Structure 1
Amino acid sequence: MTKTHPTNATNNSSIIAPAATTATTRKIPSFSFEAYLSEKADKVNRALDEAIPLQKPMKIHQAMRYSLLAGGKRVRPILCLAACSLVGGDDATAMPIACAVEMIHTMSLIHDDLPCMDNDDLRRGRPTNHKVFGEDTAVLAGDALLSLAFNHVAEKTKNVEHCRVVRAIAELALAIGSEGLVAGQIVDLDSEGEKISLNELEYIHVHKTSMLLEAAAVCGGILGGGESTEVESLRKYARCIGLLFQVVDDILDVTKSSEQLGKTAGKDLATEKATYPRLMGLAKAREFAGELARKAVDELSHFDALKAAPLYHLAGYLATRQN
């Protein structure tokens, strides 16, 4: 059974861990997931720190480092490392692209917080990038992180067939372009204040959130030497947990405070933005999250259970997270 983080019983906002409810009969190995998360996050943080030294021009590198090294769960790079390991690779192989994914994710947060987008003042418990460095520098910091991400993969990935590196770069680029993250963002912006369907909401979040998580898993699988069937299973798993991440995010937005979340709480409600609790109701949104978690776990059923343990537990962690 998945070991989950303790929750506050009084707020009734926890979601059942998928390993406890999935239809699969596989026994999930005992695994210290908290220790795993801590170890991998430390590795990722060291690699990110080394990837962007403080150098001239000082202001742009300070702005890049301010947001990139601000903490966070490092879910995307850890997912990338876990996927690589699952198919027989190691951390050193996947670390450059794991860092690239986090650079791109950070870019998306910097840009998403801008006044012309979601206009937010708080991110990861600190003032947003544009509040500290100004809007012009924030835009450029995001641009610089995006370009550095691809340079980092191409330059730092070692001992991998070139065709696999190219495949991974193409996958990552697709996930964030006009058919990926940008598509989700533009539809999200156009939908503000409008009544949209659940299908339209899912389109937004599959593109805006899920596809980068999907790319993290798929790229880890590709660079780790995974077969096409293994990579596709990782894709389906990650698409489920990507949507799960967003559903839980929507739930937390209406059940937690800004202090608990490290970002502005209740903002979606205040701006009448479409969310899963708003369209489905809170209870149904929780049920949907549980269903996504179970589907994600089922995609791991034909992998070695011990090697897949981090991904089993990651699904449970995302389903029950409190911030």
Structure 2
Amino acid sequence: MSVPQVRQGEPDDLAAALPRRRTTAHSRDQVPLEREWELGALREAIDAACASVGRVVVLEGAPGLGKTHLLTHATRHAHDQGMVVLRARGGELERQYPFGVALQLFEPYLTTATPRERRRVLAGAAAHAEAALSGRVRLQDASGPPEFPLLHGLHWVAANIAEQRPLMLAVDDAHAADDASMRALLYTAQRSEDLPLLIVVTTRPRQSGGDALATLETHSSVRRQLLPLSAEATATLVRETLPQADDGFSAACWAQTQGNPFFTRELIAELELSQLAPIAANADALADLGPTTIERATAGRLERLAPGAAPLARAVAVLGDDAPLAQAA
């Protein structure tokens, strides 16, 4: 059997929109700060799946709180435990393509599998998904009648893979995944109780995403909403790169970023470039230094939304978060 490599997903779409730059102290190999509970829950879920007790874990949080970082740690640990790890990521620009995320998950595995392993994985009911996963037919719209055989077939593809080795299906940014793939994931989750299978998804708070994602969240074994970092953890993050930062300056960094790890790292990168002394006397300068890369990334996301999204966002920025929607519009 050919063992595929862990498919490393992309970071939050906000981070993905940024240009590559010199990295600060942050590394994907570092253990994320104040995420001990989440890491422990993921390790327990991996152990359970390896013992043929299916699990579903949902990590929820705003952009920049470290969902992708946690998912990467989970996939690496699962791989170290001998699991097959298949990873995909939802995307706003691909959401209209049915089963796109499902293809991301399974297509690379089948491409790298030996002919014998491929025949085994696609045997029985899994054959319903074979033509689609091999690219011989174009997947039809999820509202059409062929959907159930595909859902059933994709479930058995996962079950057949897990029959040989425990399987982890990891979906980043599930709120931006196509609805058909999320229905397939839900279909499998509802039948995974006695399978050596772990499903882990990351998503934003319930403002977007389809009904299947909402149902998957209620079906999860573990559902955790990530919180911003405390002032103490933010100070630790700042001092990893700027060890001379004093308490007043570190507190100002927390006030500027509200404990968002991604925003904090971007601010630190800007501070390195500016060579501003990290002392309390310079705290007021942080407001003027605000990371321009974040502004560009946010503007890019707004441009991909409905035509009125950018003007509405500007109005809310002026009027404040508590302004009535009708007034902002």
Q: Normalising to structure 1: TM-score of the pair?
A: 0.24
Higher relative contact order (CA closer than 8 Å, sequence separation 6+): 1
More strand by share: 2
More helix by share: 1
